[in-house]
Structure 1
Amino acid sequence: MIYTTRNSGYKCAVFDVDRNERLMMVVAINTAAGWIEVIHDPRQHPDEVPSCKPNEVPTFRLYFDSIYAIWGMEPLPVLFHCYGRRKQPAVTPQAMWLLGALVKTVESLPESVFDTFVERHIVHDAKVALAWASSHQIRAARSSAR
């Protein structure tokens, strides 16, 4: 679930438990995907300059292995605990399912269509390239088993 100022408690606190620090200027928290969107502060992160549109506040995302919303005795969450900070997002189960479905689709193509499909699309789409590599490994394994 995505939490913002509208569906979280007043002066809600967000803590990175592993680093033992409070995260300030939080805009949004996605507990399912494991990210927190934070307003960019050039004093704290001079090397990270996110791009943004005019009249928008520059933000960036911090990724975690898990984020827990803590309600306490309130109707809305008043505290968030974040564990396992990462440099990049993890692959979600939904993305893995989509990649698996894509690999099955590519595998089911006839050989001539498969080759034409790969020649036309592999350069343009990284997801197809990954699916092609996975299916190619599967085909190679099947061929060597025969």
Structure 2
Amino acid sequence: MLYDRHNALGAQVFEIGRREPLKRVMSVDTDVGIVVAAHDPLRLHPNREQVETYQIRFRAIHAIHGGSDKPVLFHCYDRLQESPAGMADRIHCRGAAGHWAWR
């Protein structure tokens, strides 16, 4: 399932292998194991209307609901690759150009 600011606002994304949270996450797709994130600090596309993003592929991503209807945490396992994704409102996150306010 694809999660973004509309259905997982405030959730934290944690990379288990590195024992650290991922920053500036734009979307999480648990079906294909992809996290789309903005660079930190933010980088604007040359047109200055879009945030540049990159994607990280994991072997598995688990959404943790913690008794809530929406996920409160995502655990990402076994990073496979990292690659440029494009602009936040054109790639994988389906219009989620904003930042999820994650840590």
Decide whether aligned partners of structure 1 residues 14 and 88 sit closer, same or farther in structure 2, where only a CA change above 3 A counts. closer
* 1:15, distance to aligned residue in structure 2 (A): 0.2
Provide structure 1 residue ranges, at least 5 long, that are not aligned to the other structure: 44-48, 90-146
Q: Could you tell me the TM-score, scaled by structure 1's length?
A: 0.51
Q: Could you tell me the TM-score, scaled by structure 2's length?
A: 0.71
Report if the CA contact (8 A) 2:23-2:40 is conserved. no
Q: Give 1 or 2 for the bigger CA radius of gyration.
A: 1
Structure richer in helix, relative to its length: 1
Compute the RMSD of aligned alpha carbons.
2.3
Query: What is the identity, as a one-letter code, of the residue corresponding to 1:78?
Result: V
Query: What is the identity, as a one-letter code, of the residue corresponding to 2:64?
Result: I
Structure 1 residues 40-59: aligned runs within 5 Å: 40-41=39-40, 52=45, 54=47, 55-59=49-53
Greater relative contact order (Cα < 8 A, sep 6+): 2
Count of residues in Structure 1 that have an aligned counterpart in Structure 2: 82
The CA distance in 2 between the partners of 1:62 and 1:86, in whole Å, is 8
* 1:88, distance to aligned residue in structure 2 (A): 5.7
Provide structure 2 residue ranges, at least 5 long, that are not aligned to the other structure: 84-103
Residue identity (%): 35
Structure 1 residues 118-137: aligned runs within 5 Å: none
The CA distance in 1 between the partners of 2:3 and 2:58, in whole Å, is 15
SS of equivalent to 2:51: coil
The CA distance in 2 between the partners of 1:32 and 1:66, in whole Å, is 8
Aligned residue in 2 for 1:26: 25
- Return structure 1 stretches of 4+ with deviation > 4 angstroms: none
